[in-house]
Every structure is written in structure tokens, then in C-alpha cells.
Amino acid sequence: MKESQIIGICRFAFLGRGDWVGMRRPDAHDAARLDEQAEWLFHPDRMMRRLFTLERICLASIAAQTDRDFRFLVLTSTRLPASHLQRLEALCERIPQVELLVTAETDAGQALRPTLLQAARESDRPALQFRLDDDDAVAPDFVANLRRIERGVQGLPRYALSFPRGLSVICYGTEPPSFWKTRRPFTGAALAVRLTEPGRSIFAFNHFDLPRRMISITEPDAMGHFVTRWDMADSARRGVPGIPWGYDPLPPEEFRKAVAADFPFLSGMDWGQLGRAIGRPE
């Protein structure tokens, strides 16, 4: 069986049907619904913060990968205001593996399909896809571990792969950030899927449903994901949530040491910035 090409995907300010509950409704593609979503999605303060996390967290983890033989697609919308698009283009151009896709489609699967089909035709290899939100990260050896594990499961044409171990920062409202170690199988970050259908994307599946849909594998030991939960995250629109399952608190000093060991590109980050307007005085 041919070794997969590895393709990561990040949706950045993607206007259309997505994970947020308000955009899973039947009217998610309606013009009025999209206009309402666009007003929130492209708000200048939100864009400033999300560009910050994209650069300092998500893309920093992509640039830090020890195995550089992969592609990382950043999917955004043609309605993204020009000033934000220019900043996004500049960030993506810095990293050779990153490719920016700008689309008028309002369905992520349809938007990604031409690129995934072209990748399959050009390489004649199936894709092992992973997904990453613009405010989350994967460990530097994530791509290397994907390749290592795939070589060990040769013969499986279709499967899902999760790295449950991770770290997390929670920062809502005026509260100071809190720090956590996590063990959450099939969370969205540090998750990969090998699919047999050319052109189909990882977003065709709810990540927590994958163990019920196909053969699924967990790597219990390797550090996988870094997840942020904060006011400008999409889930915060439903109100401040409680502590998720699989979260155990870490004292700040232990968290700092864990970041230095497993996510060194995040060392020195001021996590309080997630709770205030980035780039403005407190």
C-alpha cells in the first residue's frame, strides 16, 4: 500500500456551514443567515485576536514540525475584508508548507474538494488528513508520529488516529488564565483520518463520532494537542462553559515546564492576552 501524503487543514474565518451549532441549521447557507454570521465573524476585534492566535499558536506549531513533508491548507472566505486577507496572506507566505485557499463556497467540504482531488491525481497517493483550529496547536513531532504510526498499520485503507494527551489554557471574561493537562481522545486537535474517497475531507465527520464510523487508533503516550478555550473562541458564543471532561488542573510552574518540554514554540507566551484586546493597552 502506498504511503499517504499528509495534508492538514485549518478553517480561518470561514463563512458557512461549520462546527458552531448556529451554523449547523438547515438555513446555514441562506443569505440572511450568512450576513448575520459575517457581522460577528469579521468583527475587527475578533479578527485582530484570531490573527494573533493563528500566527503565534497554530502556524507556529506548523513551522515547528520536525517532519516537513506535508501540506497545510488554510481555508478562508472571499468575504473576508481586504485588510484582514492581506495580513492572512502575509502569515501564510512565511511557511513553505502552508497554502491559502480563498473560496466563495459556504460548505467546507465543497470548498476543499477540488484541491483534494487535484492532490490525489498529482501524487497518486491517498491523503492522511489532519485538522487544526486557528487557536490550537500540535506538538512538533506530530507529523513525524503520523508517518510512524501509518507505517505500523499498513494494510488499513481507512482509519482515524487520535493523540489524546495535551495541554490547555482556559481564559474567560476577567478571570486569570487557568492551566490544564488533558486526555481527550478524538478531540479536534491532533486528530487525523485516512480516507479512501478522493476529494472527501476530514470535515465530513464529527470528530467525536469517528470511533463509531471506522477503525480508530489512539496513541496514548505521545504528546499531541494544545487547545485554548477563551472568549473569542466559537464555543464561547453559547456562554461560558464549565470545565470539559478529561481536564486536570496544573499549577502555573508545572504548566510552564510542560510547555517548554512539549510545545517550546509557545514558551514565554502571555496567556492573559487571550482575555483582553490584543495589541491594546489594558
List the domain boundaries for the chain: 5-275
CA 61 to chain centre: 11
Structure-model confidence comparison of residues 31 and 240, the more confident one? 31
Average pLDDT of 30-40?
86
What cell numbers appear for 80 in the block? 473576508
Class of domain 5-275 (CATH, top level): alpha beta
Q: pLDDT higher for 211 or 235?
A: 211
Task: Determine the pLDDT at residue 173.
Answer: 77
* pLDDT 10s digits, 107-125: 999 999 999 999 999 988 8
Q: What is the pLDDT of residues 223-241, one digit of tens each?
A: 999 999 988 654 444 556 7
Where does residue 6 rank: exposed (0-12), middle (13-18), buried (19+ CB within 10 A)? buried
In angstroms, what is the C-alpha Rg of the chain?
Answer: 18
What is the pLDDT at residue 236? 44
Q: Cα separation of 71 and 123, whole Å?
A: 12
Nearest Cα neighbor of 135 from 50, 261, 64 is: 50
Instruction: Output the nine-digit C-alpha cell for 85.
Output: 486577507
pLDDT: is 236 or 50 the higher one? 50
| Full-model pTM | 0.92
How far apart (Å, rounded) are the C-alpha atoms in residues 190 and 196?
20
